Amino acid sequence: MRIAIVDESASRAAVIREGLAALDDSEIFVVTERRGLVARIGEIAPDIVLMDLGNPSRDVLEEYFAVSRVLGRPIAMFVDESDDESIAASVDAGVSSYVIDGLAPHRIRPILDLAVRRFNAFARLQADLAEAKGKLAERELVDKAKRILMDSRGVTEPQAYTELRKAAMNQGKRIVDIAEAVVTAHQLMGGK
């Protein structure tokens, strides 16, 4: 496992490193410079990012949230103090674990595990949602193509579907691909 620790304080980063000492088969990278953070994290390509911000200002939090939005990795963020607004912003930014006043070596490993689990669970939910939206869009496209065939040829809905299915089978394509071609052709001919 590749772990990036983002912390401007070497002493706080050492606490996190100590908490990860028992992890076998892991590479740990400490990033202490805020400038060029996204590029540096990109070079490291970590499996998880642990950010320790101490007492960050609102601007610093926003900067790190911007980083977390583009990473696409589990992120555990440690802060000394927080408020509801910061917690909500961290969740919106994709932070998997937001830990307030909890930087202690014995807590690092469980927090890391939780961040990975939460991230994976959320990623599965997002993939399921994207798949469902894709299927719904495909169904709507097929329905639109059926309506076009029904209106232009005066056929019933089952007959329109049969035509789409037959064309798909003859061309070795999916029905949705044929439906998309019907809709596109209809639009090019001035249809709505």
Does the pTM exceed 0.85?
no
CA angle 41, 47, 53 (to 5 degrees): 55
Query: What is the band of 60 on the pLDDT scale with cuts at 50, 70, 90?
Result: confident
Domain 132-188 architecture = Orthogonal Bundle (1.10)
Encoded tokens for 187: 């639009």
Q: Which fold has domain 2-103?
A: Rossmann fold (3.40.50)
- Dihedral of CA atoms 162, 167, 169, 174 in degrees, nearest 10, equals -90
Q: What is the pLDDT of residue 62?
A: 75
Residues of each domain in the chain carrying CATH 1.10.10.10: 132-188
Burial zone of 90 (CB within 10 Å; 0-12 exposed, 13-18 middle, 19+ buried): buried
Model confidence band, residue 92 (pLDDT cutoffs 50, 70, 90): confident
Tokens in use for 191? 């249809």
Q: What is the mean pLDDT of residues 78-95?
A: 79
**Residue 167 above 80 pLDDT?**
yes
Summarize pLDDT for 3-51 with one digit per residue, the tens.
988 888 888 888 888 888 878 788 889 888 878 887 888 889 888 888 8
- The CA distance from 113 to 87, in Å, is 20
